Amino acid sequence: MDNRPIGVFDSGLGGLSAVKELQKLMPNEHIIYFGDTGRVPYGTKSYETIKKYAEQDVRFLQSFDVKAILAACGTVSAVALDELKQKFSIPLYGVVDDAASKAVHETKSGIIAVAGTEATIGSGIFERKLSNYGLSRYIGVACPLFVSLVECGFYKEDDDVVLQVCERYLGFLKNTGVDTLILGCTHFPILAPVISKVLPGVKLINPSFEAATQLKQRLNDEGLLSDKNDQIVEYYVSDQPIKFANVANIFMGHGIEAKMVNIEK
């Protein structure tokens, strides 16, 4: 057993979808979340900047003596995770591999699409991962406005603006034979009801759920699960804790309190 906390980070609010899944799956764990709200979104930044930010995020979480870190950010998982693993000895996990594996298991047509940030789609990470399973048909769709919509609280399925943006990005997939769509950014599951309206019958893969499920299994296999009888979740942000807490209710279904830190120190 290991009662040290689990670290989770994202560019903003999206990683809260992973925290919610971790809370359900591991009710005895202490979780420390960092949302880099002062520099969100990561998906439109250069690869060099993303890697720099991600390294700072990991170093911050390391200060809490965490036993593992989940990069609950599709962009970081796609662009920076391999380099982070080389720089840090702590176990580091992302949200790409498990989502790709689940999509291959679910597809019947063999045609899988990925909706992600510009950086994630541009990296080609999902295309490479899916090709390792022998998949020959892949469609990547960059959806840069999705993160901003969610961060600003626009996500409801009866919102015409949200529906129009989803239709603009993803509507063309209806004529491609795609039967499985990976939501390649942890912000995107919040938009799942709207996306399902645009793409009825298409299976949506939630990377947060898949990553949380596999993280529990890995910690269990290594004897690192906590044996405490209570759950603690701490939240840290790099800008505007009150705004973060207000919008976080979208993900968590309840109010939270967050502390602001200077991530660049």
d(CA 145, CA 148): 5
* 255 half-sphere exposure, CB direction, 13 A CA radius: 4
114 conformational bin, left if phi > 0, alpha if psi -120 to 50, beta if neither: beta
- Whether the bond into 144 is cis, omega within 30 of 0: no
Contact 187, 151 (CB under 8 A): yes
d(CA 172, CA 97): 26
Task: Retrieve residue 10's tokens.
Answer: 């994202």
Q: Which residues contact 246 (CB under 8 A, 6 or more apart)?
A: none
Given the residues 73, 143, 152, 166, the one annotated as active site? 73
DSSP state letter for 165: H
Of the candidates 199, 218, 222, 220, the residue with the CA atom closest to the CA atom of residue 210: 218
Respond yes or no: is residue 185 known to be catalytic. yes
C-alpha separations of 109 from 66, 126, 172, 195 in Å:
41, 17, 17, 19
CA dihedral for 59, 189, 109, 144, sign (positive or negative): negative
Given the residues 143, 152, 166, 185, the one annotated as active site? 185
Contact 206, 191 (CB under 8 A): no
Catalytic residues: 73, 185
